[in-house]
Structure 1
């Protein structure tokens, strides 16, 4: 298993020599490879193919996509409208994760100031995300220690991948786990495998192994049983969009974890930066759920695993109602949903 040379060097998104450099997350954990993106269409394809994934990482990539559009436009002789059209296509590459649109929109006003201004703002977005992740890791760890009231290392469950690979660095939900681990307060992590593309077993397990954190990978369907048998003290997950009422879209399978936590009476903590909170979206009913190619469900490695006529239903996300979420941790602190502290009233 190939690993980065040093902990500080793991960056899913980097700008170097006039192009965007991405860790190719489709080939992990077998190989650590980078691909270089020089066009907006190449970036759009990379986002759609999950070469780069995770809401904050996609947001950072989208910000640099504006720079790619400027360079590409200069090279191809595009006018301003063509440049903006290319940026819009990147912005819409994955509709559920709000970070992509937020970060692109933040950089867009700098287009008329030129490439250097766009790159400076995109770099600022990256720096802010890493700082935010570190802060939410501390807030989340403190909250979990207080909430569980346990005087021993915690047994935690997480779903999908929310570490350095999914962000500009450090991680959101996995950042909370990393902070707890740094304090010697993690006994074990259950990482759901995350069907159909196995981000949990391919990516989260790779990061946990890299950090030396004891862990199991389990089938998504095993999560509820593990929780209800009393083998988990808390679940910590990320988010791709948080609505004003606290409803939260995350990788499909998250809802089942939340339901099991509610039944078991253990904390279900969502960790996400404020860029993921969309107070303009009233509830989960207003969140567009991306449907991916059904072949991802009925094939594996290009080999058909279901009858030829069977179609695959492949929602990439599900929505967890706010009533099932114990709390949301952002870089600003923790909102306790059980006390009525919802994003629509606290994060405007």
Structure 2
């Protein structure tokens, strides 16, 4: 008993100067939502993306509705003590703001289909939060983030042949006095998936899940439905309203690289050098990050090259493309260049081979 008391005393001690964060009020949530909406509107304008414009407008409507809901003194109260319906709206608004902020923080490195998948996931998430029905029950569950197990934001997944592990974070997701919440996965129209997530860890603020291999899932939006139970006086464990989260299945990675290689050949004595095309074509498709493809090129058309010139175009599955070159280098040196989308190209004249390597995924919200 003495040991327990001593341990408890130590636990009560706090570092000098440590401060608790202030409680979140309705005004705080409105400010977060306004800031997220403003920054998303700026990104939508810069990218001319109509979907981001629509999502920004929906955030603005949520902020306006929350101001009306929290009229009077409720706006200055901590969200924890606001009336049940108003509290649920405030928590959903905060979840929309946090999800939008996470999107803004990580979407800068995303291009092509990955960028589209992130924007689709954000739009679907905000719409479901905005359209959720109000319930009279207190302690309504809300999911405010989907993330990897190491706490990185997660918006979309590439189909794969390995199990996927991720987490849902939020409020009132479980009650330790009751059974684990029910978690089901459906497509965007509500049809249950053939493969369902398995709970590997649970608390009131976090549910960790494992999803079987997803290579059979078609690209599109998928919804995770969480239905927790809550212990109440006399009635025992009572089913609560569901909370939902959206994860996008992105299109499989597929990049192709078109190339052309030209040599500047040495001229006969007294003559000028001449440009000789050596080859043009398409390298094998890249379908995985960290992979390398190559193509050997016949250079016998120029027996005494002075220099080589390489041009390349990267094409994505969504039809977008970007080009580089021509890049010129002396014939006894390799040509190495970065390509859009995190690719690197290398022409090795000693073995007459063109290489393209895919680096790590630069889109942090897709895994």
TM-score range, shorter chain: under 0.3
TM-score (norm 2): 0.22
* Larger strand percent: 2
Which has the bigger relative contact order, CA under 8 A and spacing at least 6? 1
TM-score (norm 1): 0.23
* Larger helix percent: 1
Of structures 1 and 2, the larger Rg is shown by: 2
